[in-house]
Amino acid sequence: MEQIKDKIDKCMILIMERFDKLENKLEKLYETNNIKDTDLLDDSEAQSLLNVSKRTLQRYKQQKLLPHSKVKGKSYYLGFDIIMFKRGRMNKI
């Protein structure tokens, strides 16, 4: 009887871990859904929404994975591009 209880406890822990992962993904999707296609986002906003470091964002730009425009030396991203990039990354997970 004790073994069954232990197995059930382990299963519940695994289920809760999966729920936590799903919750995190849903929160990230919710953040993305609050972006309008025409919004202009700077580097720090893009980093936050994509959950990447400054260097990773720079790498995305250099590899032309994420479209951007420069105004007076500062990079800006369209909300649409951030949404599409994020969806593409989510599909790979």
DSSP SS3 for 40 = strand
Say whether pLDDT at 8 is over 60.
Answer: yes
Packed helices 79-92 and 43-50: angle between N→C axes, nearest 10 degrees: 30
What pLDDT sits at residue 57?
Answer: 97
Per-residue burial over 38-63, b = 16 or more CB atoms within 10 Å of its CB, e = otherwise: eeebebebbbebbebeeeebeebbee
- What is the domain partition of the chain in residue ranges? 1-34, 40-87
Per-residue pLDDT tens for 34-67? 777 778 999 999 998 898 999 999 999 999 999 9
